[in-house]
Amino acid sequence: MELVHLFHIIIVGGLFLYVGINRVNIPKNLFTVLFWLGIVIVFYHIYKTYNYLQLGKHYWVNLIHIFIVGPLLIYIGYYGENTARLYFELLLMLGFASIGYHGYYILDSISSN
């Protein structure tokens, strides 16, 4: 589980902060990556939600990915440089949220050991 947290802190948080801060001053092909990444995230978390429903587990994090994270990445990836500043700010907020949320659980796992 720590790998999932580290992945979200370093890779996801870093990517979201980079794109959110630099906005249109990023490589053009990164918009294509964001578009397809958003699609993969939506379908992956639909699959995870279905499995969690079958097992009776909580799936609220998956719903956040299906309805917020994935669509935002698809939108930014599709519109590229023409994306309104608001959407880059939302991505920036999600980057900080990812780092904070997963950082909390990393620190929690360290302190409980």
**Rounded distance between C-alpha atoms, residue 46 and residue 64, angstroms:** 11
pLDDT tens per residue, range 13-35: 999 999 999 999 999 999 999 99
pLDDT band at 1 (very low <50, low <70, confident <90, very high): confident
pLDDT tens per residue, range 79-94: 999 999 999 999 999 9
Query: Residue 2: CB partners within 8 Å, gap ≥ 6?
Result: 106, 109
| Token pair in block for residue 96 | 């900080």
What DSSP element (H or E) covers 113?
none
Q: Is the pLDDT of residue 113 over 90?
A: no
Q: Taking a C-beta distance cutoff of 8 angstroms, is the pair 98, 13 a contact?
A: yes
Distance separating the N- and C-terminal Cα atoms of the chain: 14
